Amino acid sequence: MTGNRDRTMRTQNIDGLIAAERGRIFAQATPEQRERLRAAEKSREVYRAWNAVCANTREGNHVTGLRYLPDSNELLVYLDDAVWTQELTMLREIIRGRMEREGVSIDGFLFRTSKRGYGTSSKRVLRPQLPSSRPAAPHADLDDAEARALDERVAPIEDERLREAMKKAMKASLEWKKGREALKKP
């Protein structure tokens, strides 16, 4: 029984065992392998944060696929309908802010509609296919006074990352509204 002397019959924390095993794997890996392992861990963290924010939500139920793009630090999200693609595009900064609260910072999202008939929604209503060349969403840049007013509205938020995420979300919304108003004017 001399070969099993390291067994101590004491309870060990699984996190400690995982950290030790991770350390052992990293110690034996080449620099290229370490880089691939770090990329895999980053992907796992991005997916974990996405699930913490969007899993089992109204929006999340329409996601048909996810792919983390490490080169651009973006998350590619496939949705089962163009309506949901537009909806999540409008919510992108809110989702990004919530993911940052989960400890993951990404540079952006790419939302795409899955091919017709491919989806997770069992009660999906089929709509007529819309032409692929849609006009761009309305947009108008904020003037200096509007930008200063926006800065003042988010200034009370103490957490810098959350403040910046909220500012981006609010700016996108204000630019969209301003662009929409500009379209209504003759």
Q: Which domain holds residue 161?
A: 138-186
Identify whether 155 is part of a domain: yes
Say how far residue 157 (Cα) sits from the centre of its chain: 21
Identify whether 131 is part of a domain: no
Given 65, 90, 121, which residue is the final one in a domain? Answer: 121
Identify whether 8 is part of a domain: no
Give the pLDDT of residue 168: 86
Residue-wise pLDDT tens digits, 133-178 = 556 667 788 899 999 998 999 898 888 888 888 888 888 888 888 8
Identify whether 162 is part of a domain: yes
Rounded-to-integer distance, Cα 119 and Cα 81, Å: 8
Residue-wise pLDDT tens digits, 48-91 = 999 999 988 888 888 888 999 988 999 999 998 889 999 999 99
Residue-wise pLDDT tens digits, 35-60 = 888 888 888 999 999 999 998 888 88
**50 shares its domain with 117:** yes
- Is it the case that residue 20 has pLDDT exceeding 60? yes
**82 shares its domain with 23:** yes
Copy the structure tokens of residue 62: 């329409």
**58 shares its domain with 110:** yes
**Stated pTM of the model:** 0.53
Output the domain CATH number for residue 62.
Answer: 3.30.300.20
Give the CA-trace dihedral at 88, 148, 165, 77, to 10 degrees.
Answer: 30
Number of domains in the chain: 2
Match 């008939």 to its residue by tokens.
Answer: 117
**117 shares its domain with 142:** no
**26 shares its domain with 58:** yes
**38 shares its domain with 82:** yes
Identify whether 1 is part of a domain: no
The helix or strand, by DSSP H or E, that contains position 85, with its residue range, turns out to be helix 82-90
Q: Which residues make Cβ contacts (< 8 Å) with residue 55, sequence separation at least 6?
A: none
Tell me how far CA of residue 130 lies from CA of 53, 94, 106, 134, 135, in angstroms.
Answer: 30, 28, 31, 8, 12
**153 shares its domain with 75:** no
Cβ-based burial of 15 (10 A; exposed 0-12, middle 13-18, buried ≥19): exposed
Given 121, 154, 170, which residue is the final one in a domain? Answer: 121
